[in-house]
Amino acid sequence: MPENSPDTILRLTGLTKTYPGGLTAMDNVDLEIRKGEIFALLGPNGAGKTTLIGAVCGLVTPTSGTIKVFGEDIRNNWRGARARIGLVPQELSTDMFEKVIRSVSYSRGLFGLSPDKARIEEVLRSLSLWDKRDEQIRALSGGMKRRVLIAKAMAHEPDLLFLDEPTAGVDVELRKDMWRLIGQMRERGTTIILTTHYIEEAEEMADRVGIIRQGKILMVDDKDAMIQRLGTTEAVIELAKPMSALPPAIAHFPITLEKDGKELCYRGGDGSGKGRAEVAELTKALVRADIDYIGIDIRESSLEDIFVGLVENHADETTGEAA
């Protein structure tokens, strides 16, 4: 990616945060977000997702590194930058005694905009909050409270929106709703960075995915490319008769014997369909070699497997280092 691509909306360079206690929550992070995309930051608890967001939104002072938003170093024009950034925090923190509509117009005012009634109505309607506008926030359900936070973050029409676990503690129905909503925001041209624990969510919505663990970005890629590159096909072939060793006729396949020779396990492919074709080849080879089987279970790996694999591999490395 060229240094100052016009498509880049946010660029983090060498961003590091060491908290006063000495914990490095973000370790030399380089990240580049493109205009108009939905970027999902995936990582286990304590990976540093919220810290990263905080650094861009002015809640966390980075220890070192630079943040460039909208083509400018954030330190040179923090007012201009913040006016165009929206944040939906992870915690449900709002003034519980405030009415929904007042809370949203306050957000708009805080960002220096006129209390445009039509715009506020539009935001509330798009989040199905219009009927609840005169309710105190504390009277709303958790999912509705999160919508209020989203409404507050959208009130100033940000170009770059951070959603820190927008669907945490939200039921399936509402989560689907949220996805639709985020999709709509993207259609309007908003760049969205979201964090999530639900890989399903990243898989469903994101254009690109970044995987973070212990403050380090392990990998950033297009979601599809990532699945293709790291994806594997897994097939379990249940044999009619147990085998003690792999016959030479099929030994060139990436297979192992498992369950005391009762199952043949295939692990291969690349997420592009190559695996399925190879499994088909394998079954033909089995037939040719006169090896009978009674069942096949085949499955493509998901982003989840990739994620778990990556995070576990790194965990092994870390423990290895420590030992």
Partner 1 sequence: MIGFNIRSAWAIYTRELMRALRTAFQSILAPVLTTSLYFIVFGAAIGARMPDLGGVSYGAFIVPGLLLLTLLSESTSNASFGIYMPRFTGTIYELLSAPVGVAETLVGFVGAAATKSLILAAIILATATLFVDYTIAHPVFAIFYIMLVAASFSLFGFILGIWADSFEKLGIIPQLFLLPLTFLGGTFYSVDMLPSPWDTIALFNPIVYLVSGLRWTFYGSADVSIAVSLGLTLGFLAVCTGIIAFIFKTGWRLRN
Return residues touching Mg ion (CB under 5 A): 49-50, 90
Residue 287 makes CB contacts below 8 A (sequence gap 6+) with none
d(CA 292, CA 290): 6
Of 50 and 233, nearer to ligand ATP (C-beta) is 50
Of 188, 214, 168, the closest CA to residue 51 belongs to 214
Q: Which of 10, 11, 49, 104 binds ligand ATP (CB under 6 A)?
A: 49
CB of 317 to partner 1, least distance (A): 28
Task: Figure out which of the listed residues 8, 50, 103, 301 binds ligand ATP, where binding follows CB under 6 A.
Answer: 50
Q: Which of residues 75-104 bind ligand ATP (CB under 6 A)?
A: 90
Q: What is the per-residue binding string for partner 1 in 162-201, x denoting contact by CB under 8 A?
A: ----------------------------------------
The answer to the question of residue 30 lying near partner 1 (CB under 8 A) is no
Burial class (CB within 10 angstroms; exposed 0-12, middle 13-18, buried 19+) of 78: middle
Helices (H), ranges, the chain: 49-57, 78-83, 100-110, 117-126, 142-154, 172-187, 199-205, 223-230, 274-288, 303-322
Which strands make up the sheet holding 160-164, listed edge to edge?
A: 85-88, 160-164, 191-196, 38-42, 208-213, 216-222
Nearer to partner 1 by C-beta: 4 or 93?
93
Is residue 224 within 8 Å of 261, Cβ to Cβ?
Answer: no
CB-nearer residue toward ligand ATP: 59 or 277: 59
Q: How near is the Cβ of 169 to Mg ion at its closest, in Å?
A: 13
Segment lying near partner 1 (by CB under 8 A), choices 72-80, 203-211, 244-252, 291-299: 72-80
| Site of interaction with partner 1 (CB under 8 A) | 19, 51, 54, 57-61, 77-83, 85, 87, 89, 91, 93-97, 102, 106-114, 152
| Site of interaction with ligand ATP (CB under 6 A) | 19, 21, 23, 25, 43, 45-51, 90
